[in-house]
């Protein structure tokens, strides 16, 4: 996905270093706006978004709620989050100023990007080890997936219903956003495959067959 690209007001950013909202080297707001368009191109529907700023630390988090196009009525929901540490942005700004307009920053400075897949409680939930193995084959190294579950009981005499959670954690290099290069395309392709896998098997897990 093309990032928002370089911003030419780098001279202003030094005087605004204490204010994360005024960071001028890189446009994360534009990147998130592009991301919402990009997920739609990969077969997802966005239905909510949030932007949080911690007043003390200036940490920011962008969150987007979405689901595969074929799951508008459930049962699969997805959640993505981009976490921004102001120290990473300051470090990246220093590097950009040091290399100048003709240099190219390294990919070493990154932001964490989290993708979560959530299903409702499953009366006939899957074996977690088998599920984790199957998903590892789909996600590969581009999308490492962590599988966990919580068993709940409506009453002591009832069988357990298993709520399965699947989380992927990847990193986004700030340099690629800054240079307007493709970001997260392979990850979103893998997410689409994971979503299709879960939707195909959800009826059996929900005991609807």
Q: Where are the domains of the chain?
A: 10-205
Query: Strand, helix or coil at 131?
Result: helix
Average pLDDT over residues 102-129: 90
CA–CA distance, 150 with 161 (Å, rounded to integer): 8
CA–CA distance, 173 with 28 (Å, rounded to integer): 12
Tell me, what's the pLDDT at 2? 54
Residue 86 has pLDDT above 60, yes or no: yes
Average pLDDT over residues 24-44: 88
CA–CA distance, 88 with 173 (Å, rounded to integer): 11
Mean pLDDT score across all residues of the chain = 84
Average pLDDT over residues 26-34: 89
Tell me the per-residue pLDDT of 36-81, one tens digit each, with 9 for 90 and over.
999 999 999 998 999 999 999 999 999 999 999 988 888 999 999 9
Q: Which residues contact 135 (CB under 8 A, 6 or more apart)?
A: 145, 147, 166, 194, 197
Looking only at the bridges linking them, the beta strands covering 60-68 and 44-53 are: antiparallel
Tell me, what's the pLDDT at 202? 92
Tell me the per-residue pLDDT of 98-109, one tens digit each, with 9 for 90 and over.
887 777 888 899
pTM across the whole model: 0.81
Closest CA to 195 of 78, 47, 36, 45: 78
């Amino acid at each position: 996905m093309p990032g928002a690209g370089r911003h030419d007001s780098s001279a202003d950013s030094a005087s605004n270093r204490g204010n994360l909202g005024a960071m001028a080297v890189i446009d994360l707001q534009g990147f998130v706006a592009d991301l919402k368009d990009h997920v739609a191109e990969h077969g997802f529907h966005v239905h909510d978004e949030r932007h949080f700023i911690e007043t003390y630390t200036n940490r920011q988090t962008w969150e987007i709620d979405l689901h595969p196009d074929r799951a508008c009525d459930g049962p699969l929901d997805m959640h993505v989050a981009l976490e921004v540490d102001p120290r990473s942005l300051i470090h990246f700004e220093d590097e950009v100023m040091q290399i100048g307009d003709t240099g190219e920053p390294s990919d070493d400075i990154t932001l964490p990007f989290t993708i979560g897949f959530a299903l409702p409680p499953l009366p006939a939930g899957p074996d977690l080890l088998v599920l984790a193995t199957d998903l590892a084959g789909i996600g590969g190294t581009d999308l490492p997936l962590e599988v966990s579950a919580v068993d709940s009981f409506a009453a002591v005499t009832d069988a357990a219903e298993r709520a399965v959670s699947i989380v992927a954690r990847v990193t986004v290099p700030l340099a690629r956003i800054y240079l307007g290069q493709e970001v997260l395309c392979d990850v979103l392709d893998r997410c689409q495959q994971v979503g299709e896998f879960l939707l195909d098997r959800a009826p059996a897990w929900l005991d609807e067959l």
